[in-house]
Amino acid sequence: MRQPPPPAPADELAADHAAHARCVAWVRERTADPVLGLFGPESVAWTMVREPAYLFGGAAAVLLQMAHPAVVAGVSEYSTFETDLVGRIQRTSQALYSLVFGSLDQALGTSRRMHAIHSRVRGVVDEPGSPWHGRPYRANDPALLEWVSMTASFCGRASFETFVRPLGGEEIARDWGDLQRGAVVTGVSPESMAPSRAAFYARFFDLAENSPDLWVGPRARAVARVLFATPLTRGIFDPITTAALLPPRLRALYELPFGPSQQRALDRRRLAVEALRRAAPPALRYVPAWHQARLRVALHRGERGSRWARLIELVGARWPLPASLRAPQPR
């Protein structure tokens, strides 16, 4: 149930705002062309996130995040997750596409809205048995921002490499810059970032396997039940795919089996996705947001852009499109 936020200490709120302003400044200083956005057409981020399969890791990312008692407390007390799962998924995916495919102004606008929403999410964890029971939390806590960012990055990349293809050596080398920008634009302090891609993933796996803060209790299990109980989240988003993408400790905490039969089912799904990708023409293979971003870049360069991109932009201006750069209309 949504609760009124407790009063925020003025100095803490000011520190959070200042930290986010430093993140915005860091991103601005490292963006060569604001029209191209944070990453640009040649980036690894655009290559991965344009694939619908990138979102197949969404349920695993949610469960990883909810394994932190402070995160699941905020979701339980402030979010419409349980009553409006479809709307929550739409808003989350639209924010992702805005950050990745939007212009710099669009990406930073999304970042500021996320920060403002998080500024109101605070309270005290009330879940007996949890390692955080009785402790205060706030959504803009740097450690929580880092954990949420790491889980989203890990699960998206794991899903891409599971259902599309492994990243090549040159892509892996370039991926580190995308990881940094993606984390900082969501509020992770540049000073706290790992020094390399390898160190980033080493830290993620260390937290996932060893952090005493992670704990799966009734609230996290309730989120898992919601995720796996609706038509939208069945099929490719079901427990088999999710278990495959979770680190072993978290998979065990959620009691999600993954043995030989689940591996065979995952292999069949991988082959099905591969067949669908081969059968789809290039224009239909990628999400609308990617086409919209390519059209923006083409116009910026004095080009017309593809006919398919122009059609998507025309249709999207009149009707809501899924996986689009245009924000859904308020309900």
Confidence of residue 329 (pLDDT cuts 50, 70, 90): very low
Q: What is the pLDDT of residue 237?
A: 72
Strand partners, 97: none
Confidence of residue 328 (pLDDT cuts 50, 70, 90): low
Express each pLDDT in 208-250 by its tens digit: 999 999 999 999 999 999 888 877 667 667 899 999 999 999 9
Query: Is 187's pLDDT higher than 70?
Result: yes
DSSP symbols for 236-272: GGSHHHHHHHS-HHHHHHTT---SHHHHHHHHHHHHH
CB 36 within 8 A of CB 297: yes
Express each pLDDT in 248-298 by its tens digit: 999 999 999 999 999 999 999 999 999 999 999 878 899 999 999 999 999
Strands (E), 125-215: 136-138
DSSP symbols for 31-73: -S-TTTTTT-TTSHHHHHHTSGGGGGGHHHHHHHHHTSHHHHH
Kindly give, in sequence order, each residue whose CB lies less than 8 Å from that of residue 180, ignoring residues fewer than 6 positions away.
190, 193
Express each pLDDT in 37-74 by its tens digit: 999 999 999 999 999 999 999 999 999 999 999 999 99
- Per domain, the residue ranges of the chain are 10-279, 280-331
Mean pLDDT across the chain: 92
- Predicted TM-score of the model (pTM): 0.93
Express each pLDDT in 164-174 by its tens digit: 999 999 999 99
pLDDT-above-70 percentage for the chain: 95
Could you give the CA distance from residue 241 to residue 57 in angstroms, rounded to a whole number? 8
